[in-house]
Structure 1
Amino acid sequence: MLRLGSWGVLGAASVITLLGVVLVMGAFRNDQLIAENHGTATALVEQVMFDRTLIRYETPDGVSHSPENGVLYPDGLTAGQLVRIEYDTTDPELAKVAERTWLLTLLPVSTTLLVTWLVAAPLAWFLRSRLRALTTVRESTVGAAR
């Protein structure tokens, strides 16, 4: 059980690390897509929820858009606020608050990964040391019985 526990702790920490790296890479890629097909607009913040901030804006062709997944980098926005956004002209569902970039994801992701490994590494070390201690006791017991 101790061996499985230590592998489980390291596996969970590794998965969290992978998810953090993918999240940062995804934010970087979204910013690239917006930069390649750059459009700007003024958006109305319609609703701020735990997992997303919904906006509504119009493109120059007069079409109104409200990205289903919300706007990227919405920190500090409130419902009813007007905000400048940048969007991908080929995919208006991809929009971010103007002048905010993927670099904003670095602090929360790195903090999460730091805490994850500050918990996981000592826990895995503790479980492995307990396993070594039990293995040593078993070997000495078996050796004494011979």
Structure 2
Amino acid sequence: MKWIVTVSLALLSGFSSAGMDFSEDLLQGIKGVGLEVAPMSMRSNRLDLDQSRLREYAYHRLDELQVEVLSSSELDKIPGRPFLEVGVHIARAQGPSHVYSVTLKLREMAMLERPKDTKVSMALSTWERESIGVANRPEAILQTVDRMIRLFSEEYHKTNVKE
């Protein structure tokens, strides 16, 4: 059974990066983003990858790609408090192989309409990409994170052209 799951996921990895259709306008005017790493779901102790390493890697790549990462206090001053959320889930498959999924979301605070005198605010995804794959080493998972950050950077810079 594990073998079937591994083969199925390996075949799906050819179609590994999926994204929701969002209007480019949703990235318009964003001057920078916060960065959060969701708690990792790690069903293996064989890969040396944790939240702090993932956060450091994502921060470094965003900086290299000239996407400004804002502090908490800087985000408080920006409408919508846009932040990128990186999520990684890893499960051991067969042998040294691990099945993983990576999600990168741009989330922003939004007010939901409710009956009079009721305000509901929550973080909603305004841009999202996800990918699944099979890896034997943490570097392969970080390459997927890198690819998704580059996708965000390309769309971000295309929408926010510096004049």
* TM-score, normalisation: structure 1: 0.28
- Relative to its length, the structure with more strand (as a share) is 2
